Amino acid sequence: MGIFSKTCEYALRAVFFIARRTVEGNRVGIKEIASGIDSPEHFLAKILQDLTRRGIVQSVKGPNGGFYLNQQSLARPLIEVIEAVDGDGLFRDCGLGLKECSSKNPCPLHSGFLEVRNRLQSMLESITIGQFNEDLNLGIVVLKK
Amino acid sequence: MGIFSKTCEYALRAVFFIARRTVEGNRVGIKEIASGIDSPEHFLAKILQDLTRRGIVQSVKGPNGGFYLNQQSLARPLIEVIEAVDGDGLFRDCGLGLKECSSKNPCPLHSGFLEVRNRLQSMLESITIGQFNEDLNLGIVVLKK
DNA sequence: ATAATAAAAGATGTTTTTGTCTTTTATTAT
DNA sequence: ATAATAAAAGACAAAAACATCTTTTATTAT
Ligand code: FES
Ligand code: FES
């Protein structure tokens, strides 16, 4: 288990991939996304269906159809994708699994966690889906290995 | 899903609980631990069996038996418990799920992740199992709610 | 030695996550 | 209108995580 669920990892890689195609002016089909990010095709399809319902990504059916991102979606911070898929537990729940996280009756790790998680949160709030297109095109960052 | 697995959350709460009893000079049975940290008894038993095999906690069978921690175990940093239970994936794997994490061919989140995870890692390396006994006794921190 | 105690080990069950396959619906080009 | 295309939806399956129950083994006090 990583910091995010597998589902969420696929979702993040997929939106990065779609963003890149979108700014090139194209929609992109599920097959191409799946092979471009090295994910199981039908499983990813489910994930993108859900993201589409939630308005995180856009899609059209039929010939020349596929997934794309509108301006609003391109500008979305990553944390919205993560919360749509995994919920906000990573940022709100107690790191030791206690029923709730609060600074009255904190668990032993509360203050340490708070600092790390706030840092993660603000990082994910400041990174947008669309901001890596150039680095992806240049091969400076990658979505599969 | 939190940052650690449920199994690991129970393990961490349990070692904190055992530490407290140990410095009072007592061994503590599985029933008392389970109720003291609000975890399923038989499931926790499996977890502690594993931690015992790995030498993270100590135990003796029979009357007056139970779990306890020797000096070395009391001084152990939390990260050793976590790595024993969840492995080191949280600190070594790619946050986007790519096959490996490295600064050549990084994923888009690599540098952001690196900073957050290093912070988490050094926090968990500097906190020891035994260091919260006083706070636990005073009720400043808690292991169940 | 015996009985009582408590962890260790083994067998089994449930739920969630992850993954696959098939059918249906919407859209587009002809 | 029709055929081709591609996502949406539904049914199903495997694996991992989480959990429970029973039997065995080691230890201690009597
Ligand atoms: S109470 Fe445990 S992290 Fe806040
Ligand atoms: S390559 Fe993704 S976190 Fe390092």
**Average pLDDT rounded to a whole number, residues B88-92:** 97
At residue A128, the pLDDT reads 98
What per-residue string of b and e applies to B54-77 under the rule 16 or more CB within 10 Å gives b?
Answer: eebbbbeeeeeebbbbeeebbebb
Q: What is the whole-number distance in angstroms between the Cα of residue B102 and the centre of ligand 2?
A: 6
Element containing residue B60 per DSSP (H, E)? strand B58-60
Give residue A73's pLDDT band: very low, low, confident or very high (50, 70, 90).
very high
User: Does the CA dihedral A37-A33-B108-A91 come out positive or negative?
Assistant: negative
**Average pLDDT rounded to a whole number, residues B51-58:** 98
The pLDDT tens digits for A16-65 are 999 999 999 999 999 999 999 999 999 999 999 999 999 999 999 999 99
CA at B58, C1' at D19: how many angstroms apart? 24
- CATH no. for B6-87+128-137: 1.10.10.10
Taking contacts as CB-CB distances below 8 angstroms, the residues of chain B near A4 are: 95, 97
Q: Which of residues 25-84 of B touch A (CB under 8 A)?
A: 78
CA at B70, C1' at C1: how many angstroms apart? 33
DSSP label at residue A58: E
Q: Which of residues 7-26 of B touch A (CB under 8 A)?
A: 9-10, 12-13, 16
